[in-house]
Amino acid sequence: MGFTVASLPDLTGQIYFVTGGNAGIGLETIKALASKGATVYLGARSESKATAAIATIRESINNPDAPIHYIYLDHMDLSTIVAGAQSFLSKETALHGLLLNAGIMCTPWEVSKDGYEAHFQTNYLSHFLLTELLLPILKTTALNCEPGVVRFVEMASGAYMFAKSPGIFFDQIDMPKHEPIDRYSQSKLANVLHANEINKQLGPKEKVAEKGEIWVSSVDPGLVETGLSASYASTSLLGRTLIRLGMAATPAKGALTPIFATAGNGFKREWSGAHIVPGAKPRVLIRQGKDQALQDKLYKWTGEQLKSKGFLT
């Protein structure tokens, strides 16, 4: 992979929001952005872990005053997503990059206090809600920046390809009788379709770049040795085998793909809406990942769900 953190441009004055930033890929991404002068908001559930992560990042980049700030987000409690977005908006008037990174993988079946299965809410619903609440500031920021400065990145996975037909189980969204990998794959397909929709709404539309456009991507970081891969290995022989064979990348290496998508100079305008994979390159979406009818249905269904519970108006 030719891209390195050192090749990132100066990000002084730019503001980023990264969910799941206290460990793994999120922590490494924040470290990279902060090392280039960016202000970064770290979304996480545990304040103690977030505070420790911030201290670790500041020490590693040799900047004890690096502007990294904690935002409380519990993805299993949608009310905290609303509160977290409001907290951010009370502090900032611009947002140059939103990286939806938080997630779980192959955990036991569980339903949130909001009534949704854990994978679907943690990986997708909470991020959809956060996006809707922060889209106005992203759009305003983009109007005041050159094209390509403002980015929207949603962490997905190659597992989206393995989502069982019909892709999204609208009539049984919690998938209680399915395997953990099936629930995970559904949530990752939802992430891909969501990123597609944001690109459709806000990505480049004309041949000539213009202010106001946001460059969008979904990202597959590959198999990375984090807490997610540990959960995967606990339920999958394939996962255990791949990790034992040393096939999982380190968090620092695995983070290069989302870092590139979030702020790399080499990200091309025509890649907006693409699925970015290791090697900092776009890959054509396949199967349900390019199903426009499913994308439209999911976006409408999700908005109606969140409105019915009072999280969106």
CA distance readout (Å), 57 to 26, 101, 194, 298 = 11, 17, 30, 37
188 classed as catalytic: yes
Can you tell me the distance from the alpha carbon of 56 to that of 156, in angstroms, rounded to the nearest whole number? 26
Beta bridge mates, 277: 281
Given 70, 184, 232, 299, which residue is catalytic? 184
> Under a CB-based contact definition with an 8 Å cutoff, are residues 107 and 75 in contact?
no
The strand order across the sheet containing 274-277 reads: 68-72, 39-44, 15-19, 97-100, 151-155, 215-219, 274-277, 281-283
Given 16, 70, 160, 188, which residue is catalytic? 188
Can you tell me the distance from the alpha carbon of 39 to that of 37, in angstroms, rounded to the nearest whole number? 7
Beta bridge mates, 18: 42, 99
16 classed as catalytic: no
DSSP per-residue codes, 264-283: -TT--GGGTTEEEETTTEEE
Can you tell me the distance from the alpha carbon of 187 to that of 163, in angstroms, rounded to the nearest whole number? 9
190 by DSSP, 3-state: which? helix
Q: Which residues contact 9 (CB under 8 A, 6 or more apart)?
A: 36, 263, 265
Handedness of CA 34, 38, 44, 47 (dihedral sign): positive
Beta bridge mates, 274: 217
- Which sequence positions are flagged as catalytic? 184, 188
